[in-house]
Amino acid sequence: MEQRNERADRLAAAFEELSAAGFRQVVEPDPDVPRRRAYRRLRNRVVSSGIAAAVLVAVGGVSLVRPVAAPPPTDVIAPSPATDLPSFQPDTSAGPPVSESPTSVPSGSSTPSATPSTSLPAERPTSSRPTPKPTPTPTPTRYVDLSISAPRSLTLEPSDTAYTGTLDVTMGNAATRSYDAGDLIVVLPLEATISLKGTNIGGCFHQGQTDDVKTMTCTGDGPIPLGGTRSYQIAVTVNIAPGGPARTLTGFALTVRANVSGKFPPDRSPDDNTTRIDLKLPAS
């Protein structure tokens, strides 16, 4: 009877020991489990890196590949066992993890260059034809160039009621263009008058006056031959009673211009188109 109880006690002790061992396996994980998982991850990473390098070599013919990582050290010290239940970590044994390292771009001629070419485009050959020059505006060869001359001063003689005299006037034509007629513009002091009788110069028309002078236009005697001259004698009268000291009247001027069908072409040298005469009244 005591032998039977002893066997029962040993069986109960064995069962209790087995139950305690099983409970320890549930509560306290195997300390080698983390190390085995770290080893499997490192092995899978090495294998995936080798596969990626082989693919690059097969596709792009790249001679430089990423070196295979060294095998894991054998003297890895296992971490101390956790007192709580371990946090869940996915098992990577089903397939290789995706490599986190960036895949190196294969070097070679297939990679496009980002630097633009600095070579300039070839210049187009210039044409051998000369550049046409603008045609210059032809200078007119026909022009008008009239002139008029007279003494710079004219001394008048006293009479019963006025002073009188005769002015010698010469007109010239140094132009290469003829004209219909010549107009004579006359400017006189208010006290003076002229007479064109015997000159073949046409009638005169009053144009206006100021406090000192008056202006009139007289039609010409006709065209003067090219390169020729024509002389006239114009009678001058100053309506001032003789007597007293000597005096000089200014403002007397004669201007000639060409008239072509009612138009007045510009003169080549207009400075000699006007002559001015001082009228001198002697003392009596």
Average pLDDT over residues 125-140: 68
Output the pLDDT for position 133: 77
Label residue 193 by pLDDT band (50, 70, 90).
very high
CB atoms within 10 A of CB 2: 5
Comparison of pLDDT for 149 and 19, the residue scoring more:
149
Q: Are the C-beta atoms of 268 and 147 separated by less than 8 Å?
A: no
Structure tokens at 5: 């109880």
Question: What gap in Å lies between CA 230 and CA 170, rounded to an integer?
Answer: 6
Comparison of pLDDT for 239 and 4, the residue scoring more:
239
Kindly tell me the sign of the dihedral angle through the C-alpha atoms of 128, 134, 140, 145: negative
Average pLDDT over residues 237-261: 94
Nearest alpha carbon to residue 268 among 120, 112, 145 = 145
Output the pLDDT for position 150: 97
Output the pLDDT for position 103: 47
Q: Is the pLDDT of residue 198 over 80?
A: yes
Mean pLDDT for the chain overall: 76
Q: Are the C-beta atoms of 204 and 254 separated by less than 8 Å?
A: no
Q: Is the pLDDT of residue 224 over 60?
A: yes
Output the pLDDT for position 171: 95
Q: Is the pLDDT of residue 156 over 50?
A: yes
Output the pLDDT for position 146: 95
Question: What gap in Å lies between CA 255 and CA 261, rounded to an integer?
Answer: 19
Label residue 269 by pLDDT band (50, 70, 90).
very high
pLDDT per residue as tens digits for the range 29-71: 566 767 777 777 777 766 566 665 554 555 554 444 444 445 5
Report how far apart, in Å, the C-alpha atoms of 150 and of each of 70, 276, 277 are.
126, 8, 7
- What global pTM score does this model have? 0.52
Q: Point out which residues pair with 255 in neighbouring strands.
A: 185, 274
Helix (H) or strand (E) holding 26: helix 2-27
Beta-carbon contacts of residue 188 (< 8 Å; ≥ 6 apart): 194, 213, 214, 216, 251, 252
Q: Are the C-beta atoms of 220 and 201 separated by less than 8 Å?
A: yes
Beta-carbon contacts of residue 103 (< 8 Å; ≥ 6 apart): 52, 56
Label residue 109 by pLDDT band (50, 70, 90).
very low
First to last CA, the chain: 201
Q: Among 24-38, 43-57, 79-93, 141-155, where is mean pLDDT lowest? A: 79-93
Beta-carbon contacts of residue 187 (< 8 Å; ≥ 6 apart): 213, 214, 215, 251, 252, 253, 254, 255
Report how far apart, in Å, the C-alpha atoms of 74 and of each of 39, 203, 279 are.
10, 140, 141
Output the pLDDT for position 101: 46
Comparison of pLDDT for 85 and 141, the residue scoring more:
141
Query: Which of 14-28, 48-62, 71-85, 198-212 tops mean pLDDT?
Result: 198-212
pLDDT per residue as tens digits for the range 172-185: 999 998 888 899 99
